[in-house]
Structure 1
Amino acid sequence: MAKNRGTSGLRKKVKVFKQPNYLHNFVQSTFDALSADKVRGATLVVSGDGRYYSKDAIQIIVKMAAANGVRRVWIGQNGLLSTPAVSAVIRERVGADGSKASGAFILTASHNPGGPREDFGIKYNMENGGPAPEAVTDRIYENTKTIKEYLIAEDLPDVDISAIGITSFEGPEGQFDVDVFDSATDYVKLMKSIFDFQSIQKLLSSPKFTFCYDALHGVAGAYAKRIFVEELGAEESSLMNCVPKEDFGGGHPDPNLTYAKELVARMGLGKSSSHDEPPEFGAAADGDADRNMILGKRFFVTPSDSVAIIAANAVQAIPYFSSGLKGVARSMPTSAALDVVAKHLNLKFFEVPTGWKFFGNLMDAGLCSVCGEESFGTGSDHIREKDGIWARLYASIGLSMVATIIRVMTMRMLTQLQAKELMAYLVQLQSDLPEVNKIVKGIRSDVAKVIHADEFEYKDPVDGSISKHQGIRYLFEDGSRLVFRLSGTGSEGATIRLYIEQYEKDPSKTGRDSQDALAPLVEVALKLSKMEEFTGRSAPTVIT
């Protein structure tokens, strides 16, 4: 098994997971990496985004859980639970016998495509509802290299995951229960404790406010009708692609301007935009509903802007935060707009590596209330995962954009070697800033001077752990930034993510087209990194 630092678990093609014992080895390696009290006699959640192979995987994990001494398994109906809902279930749900979950296997490859020839994934979340920390994922990985056997109750019958109710079996370690429950109940209850649903209902019932929500045929569809239609009274016609499908309807469940084409057109953006009057507000979620994209009528809110907006308005807009924010945090590549908000509101501020586990540590220590990352993820301390539906409920209150221009360019490389060579070159280049500025000025004389360059390293203020090689930064005198990060969220190959940011203080200039505004920095980024020379590519695969 290949080690993938970009996720808390494993993502590969379905055909890889279907290899004999492949999934079994990962699951057993995970059980072996956990302390005994988190397995024997414990309660585990097993569910996911419903992608192809999930139903087979659930039956395998249930039988292995029984053989390893787990007391009970909770499964969302039809195997569906969004990643944020899993976190909520771990933290909030209490079984009929008073039991609480100690962890969860989440079956998802997040925003990657699904289907027989596409991607599958599995990760483990801990008792706090958040992704397993690196100490645990490192143990899992080491176990996969030496595993000799796994435990499985082959004689245990398959469970009907479509029927709500508790089924009891006589397992190898005694009584073993499988509880299939409604996927939305616990999550909806939590959302109603956070937001003023009556106020949102009034907004949605106003003839002047129209909206649409695109689940991209992911698991968010299991929550959309319940929350927006049944709880908030919206018209069902406001929902798009809200029937979860194993292959996401043949689409790519990544909520960005490239893949959410139907929503983008409906909102009045893009070449194929409808001539009808666009809704006032639009949003989309990825396959497991932890990422989100927010759109206004004919404009797009970047994920970096959305977390800054949430932090700036949280106390006034959300009852859950009425007593104030403990602090805010962002991933290193995310725009510095949040830094400005934190300074203005005198809030504790943290810059962490990409990965929700780092936010979880801060939240568990009571240091952070609102956080976000560059890849369309925002959330708060109500759970320990990013939460796409939570972000959409918040944004529906009617927030405006902040004065930051940011563009994220995602470049998919052909091989890991090309990506690593490019990153190594950028690290080497940082040792001589005068030479860097000579190169920059030779490319574009109108770009500011580079005043600092480094490879981002993070020391966790809670547990003292150090995370190295988290991205390469070039910081300019005027506040602009170039960030290059090697990503591990795909199932094969390598991805370099290039983040280009320019902070604009002049309100008269914030309405400019972002591609035009960032053109000088884009040219510098591509030529400074020798992107085409290393990769053979002069344009990104995805722009968000």
Structure 2
Amino acid sequence: MIEVNTTPFDGQKPGTSGLRKKVSVFQQPNYLENFVQSIFDSVPELRGGTLIVGGDGRFYNDVAIQIILRIASANGVAQTIVGQNGLFSTPAVSNLIRLNEAAGGIVLSASHNPGGPEGDFGIKFNGDNGGPAPESVTDAIFERTRHIDQYKIVKESDINLSDIGETHLGEMTVKIIDPVADYLTMMEDIFDFDAIKNLLGGKQICFDAMHAVTGPYATAIFCERLGLPEGSVINGTPQPDFGGGHPDPNPVYAKELFDTMFSENAPFFGAASDGDGDRNIVLGPNIYISPSDSIAVLAANATDVPGYENGIPGVARSMPTSRAVDIVAKDLGIEHFETPTGWKFFGNLLDAGRIALCGEESAGASSDHIREKDGLWAILMWLNILASRHQSVGDVISDHWLTYGRHYYSRHDYEGVEKAKADAVMLGLSEKLESLVGKTFKEETVSKADNFSYHDPVDGSVSHNQGLRVEFESGSRFVIRLSGTGTVGATLRLYLEKYEPKDGDLKQDVQTALRPIAEIAEEIAKIKSTVNRDEPSLIS
């Protein structure tokens, strides 16, 4: 073991999903080493404990894992468990932390961001409950990065990550394991695979792995376990640059899947996951289920699934996510919570047993089986519900709207905006909030306008400045916030929501239904004129 002198780098503050930068930033000498050493300096429980390490296979994943293992050994970690070829989906890491009672895990991913030498890279630490580290830990890590002056590392050769088995690095044991096996076992404990297999017998599905980490997981589940033909999984081989694509499951970047599902001979079921396997989308023939609607459907039908047949105690959603699941919760007589964006905010509620299902509008949903969002879990939830109800995706969502009404919902992203202009939008609206209540715009009267603060009901902590909300008496609203997942400029997000009761018009075009709310949002917040954009970069 040697100690290497170093100096701090600016800007190593973890965001909602860890530290994300361009690959070239991480390739700077000592950049990754500083951040990793800061993790070990801030989490003393890792010394003598077990650490899970893996990532989504993006460019620099293999190099980073070797560095992390050498630093882990030098810092007294007793055992590391690594996925074969360095691969682990984010939900698989969460499961393995819990299964092995590990002290934590290091996940290498920038999720849905592009990969390759010119793309993005990311690293985050998950705690011993399997979830993203709480703010107290990420704040401590960041504070350490600001003052770090040395890191510890062992001078050893790289480990062959392709060979399953056990080896040693210094005094540390390194176990290379099949990245899929334990995850598949967990899924079999939750779902009725026989019922799903019977549902899909003779039917076609299309799962788009987007050249990312869920390819091996989906192949094991759909092709090997459920007996579907090999072509059921497309883009199933993980690639360092995601095949030159963008592993974000939405209509723009999953175009091949959407073209298939909106074709004349569309398969019975379609789905996709993202770079690290924690997000999902679900489609039926000629229909796309919005993530907000998906969460509500899963909550309403959870008892159809063996793992939740006794009911769920509560649900939670991120603040920008549509309020569709709130109505379900009220109907079921269970608790529902509104949290800031960022999966770590669900952790306390899950650990306390207050909720069993949670989700975000950005294609994330999961339950109390782990402490991360889980794309394949959500897709299997849908399939199990379809099998139980003997219905199609379209039938299930139509029945849902007829029961609860429909929340027309959309997110407009303005990506790569100059930070000063994005800040100007947020400041300009913030200064207006107090004066908006009671005013009428078009046919909408403002009932509430605030900067969302979250009071954690479990530990009493408070998180301020989590997004600007303008709500109307009709139940419609818009939300504006800055995203922490981009690596270039700022990403400004506008969320639009309009509630239509169950006896209203449930078959409108989404953007048409939301146009009045979008026009009001522009009148009040002046996003387009401030950032000098005629249209959003992406509408989802």
> Is TM-score (shorter-chain normalized) higher than 0.5?
yes
Indicate the SS of the match to 1:419: helix
Q: Deviation per CA, 1:55-113, whole angstroms, max 9, x where unpaired?
A: 000000000001001111110001010000100111124xxxxxx42111100000000
Partner of 2:81: 74
Indicate the SS of the match to 1:47: strand
1:22 aligned to 31, 52, 60, which one? Answer: 31
2:422 aligned to 406, 415, 419, which one? Answer: 419
Q: What does 1:80-479 correspond to in 2, within 5 Å?
A: 80-93=87-100, 100-154=101-155, 156-169=156-169, 171=170, 175-205=171-201, 207=202, 209-268=203-262, 274=263, 276-315=264-303, 317-397=304-384, 398=386, 399=393, 400-401=396-397, 402=401, 403-433=406-436, 437=439, 440=441, 445=442, 447-479=443-475
Report how far residue 312 of structure 1 moved.
0.3
- In the alignment, the residues of structure 1 paired with residue 105 and residue 374 of structure 2 have an alpha-carbon distance, to the nearest angstrom, of 17
- In the alignment, the residues of structure 1 paired with residue 12 and residue 346 of structure 2 have an alpha-carbon distance, to the nearest angstrom, of 22
Report how far residue 4 of structure 1 moved.
4.9
Moved more, 491-500 or 375-384: 491-500
2:516 aligned to 513, 520, 532, which one? Answer: 520
Indicate the SS of the match to 1:479: coil
- In the alignment, the residues of structure 2 paired with residue 132 and residue 371 of structure 1 have an alpha-carbon distance, to the nearest angstrom, of 18
| Paired amino acid for 1:75 | V
Report how far residue 408 of structure 1 moved.
1.4
Q: Deviation per CA, 1:446-499, whole angstroms, max 9, x where unpaired?
A: x32111101100011111111111000000111001011111001221111111
- In the alignment, the residues of structure 1 paired with residue 158 and residue 24 of structure 2 have an alpha-carbon distance, to the nearest angstrom, of 22
Poorly superposed stretches of 4+, deviation over 3 Å: 3-6
Indicate the SS of the match to 2:172: strand
Report how far residue 235 of structure 1 moved.
1.4
8 Å CA contact retained: 1:12, 1:119:
yes
| Paired amino acid for 1:344 | D
1:47 aligned to 41, 48, 54, which one? Answer: 54
Report how far residue 168 of structure 1 moved.
2.3
8 Å CA contact retained: 1:66, 1:176:
yes
Q: Deviation per CA, 1:139-179, whole angstroms, max 9, x where unpaired?
A: 0001111000000002x12100011000124x2xxx32110
Indicate the SS of the match to 1:430: helix
8 Å CA contact retained: 2:416, 2:488:
no
Report how far residue 3 of structure 1 moved.
5.3
Report how far residue 507 of structure 1 moved.
4.6
Partner of 1:495: 491
Moved more, 20-29 or 231-240: 231-240
5+ residue gaps, structure 2, are 1-9, 387-392
Indicate the SS of the match to 1:29: helix
- In the alignment, the residues of structure 2 paired with residue 227 and residue 507 of structure 1 have an alpha-carbon distance, to the nearest angstrom, of 40
Report how far residue 49 of structure 1 moved.
0.3
Partner of 1:33: 42
8 Å CA contact retained: 2:452, 2:465:
yes
8 Å CA contact retained: 1:45, 1:73:
yes
- In the alignment, the residues of structure 2 paired with residue 231 and residue 516 of structure 1 have an alpha-carbon distance, to the nearest angstrom, of 42
| Paired amino acid for 2:407 | T
Report how far residue 5 of structure 1 moved.
6.0
Change (3 A) 1:200 1:218: same
- In the alignment, the residues of structure 2 paired with residue 358 and residue 351 of structure 1 have an alpha-carbon distance, to the nearest angstrom, of 10
8 Å CA contact retained: 1:531, 1:538:
no
- In the alignment, the residues of structure 2 paired with residue 372 and residue 26 of structure 1 have an alpha-carbon distance, to the nearest angstrom, of 29
Report how far residue 508 of structure 1 moved.
5.4
8 Å CA contact retained: 1:470, 1:485:
yes
Report how far residue 517 of structure 1 moved.
1.0
8 Å CA contact retained: 1:413, 1:535:
no
Moved more, 390-399 or 337-346: 390-399
Change (3 A) 1:455 1:363: same
- In the alignment, the residues of structure 2 paired with residue 369 and residue 498 of structure 1 have an alpha-carbon distance, to the nearest angstrom, of 28
8 Å CA contact retained: 1:114, 1:246:
yes
8 Å CA contact retained: 2:14, 2:124:
no
Partner of 1:97: none
| Paired amino acid for 1:157 | S
- In the alignment, the residues of structure 1 paired with residue 246 and residue 174 of structure 2 have an alpha-carbon distance, to the nearest angstrom, of 32
Report how far residue 510 of structure 1 moved.
1.1
8 Å CA contact retained: 2:271, 2:283:
yes
Moved more, 74-83 or 486-495: 486-495
- In the alignment, the residues of structure 1 paired with residue 46 and residue 278 of structure 2 have an alpha-carbon distance, to the nearest angstrom, of 26
- In the alignment, the residues of structure 2 paired with residue 187 and residue 239 of structure 1 have an alpha-carbon distance, to the nearest angstrom, of 18
Indicate the SS of the match to 1:146: coil
- In the alignment, the residues of structure 1 paired with residue 81 and residue 98 of structure 2 have an alpha-carbon distance, to the nearest angstrom, of 13
Indicate the SS of the match to 1:147: coil
Indicate the SS of the match to 1:295: strand
Change (3 A) 1:322 1:506: closer
Report how far residue 280 of structure 1 moved.
1.9
Report how far residue 509 of structure 1 moved.
1.3
Report how far residue 311 of structure 1 moved.
0.4
8 Å CA contact retained: 2:452, 2:469:
yes
Indicate the SS of the match to 1:266: helix
Indicate the SS of the match to 2:179: coil
| Paired amino acid for 2:278 | D
| Paired amino acid for 2:89 | S
Residue 485, structure 1, aligned to residue 481, structure 2 = yes
8 Å CA contact retained: 1:8, 1:124:
no
Indicate the SS of the match to 1:60: helix
8 Å CA contact retained: 1:6, 1:487:
no
- In the alignment, the residues of structure 2 paired with residue 508 and residue 7 of structure 1 have an alpha-carbon distance, to the nearest angstrom, of 38
- In the alignment, the residues of structure 2 paired with residue 351 and residue 404 of structure 1 have an alpha-carbon distance, to the nearest angstrom, of 16
Q: Deviation per CA, 1:13-37, whole angstroms, max 9, x where unpaired?
A: 0000000100000000111111x2x
TM-score in terms of structure 2 length: 0.93
8 Å CA contact retained: 2:57, 2:86:
yes
Partner of 2:5: none
Change (3 A) 1:302 1:468: same
| Paired amino acid for 2:126 | N
- In the alignment, the residues of structure 1 paired with residue 130 and residue 205 of structure 2 have an alpha-carbon distance, to the nearest angstrom, of 31
| Paired amino acid for 2:466 | Q
Indicate the SS of the match to 2:129: coil
5+ residue gaps, structure 1, are 94-99, 269-273
8 Å CA contact retained: 2:13, 2:142:
no
8 Å CA contact retained: 1:413, 1:419:
no
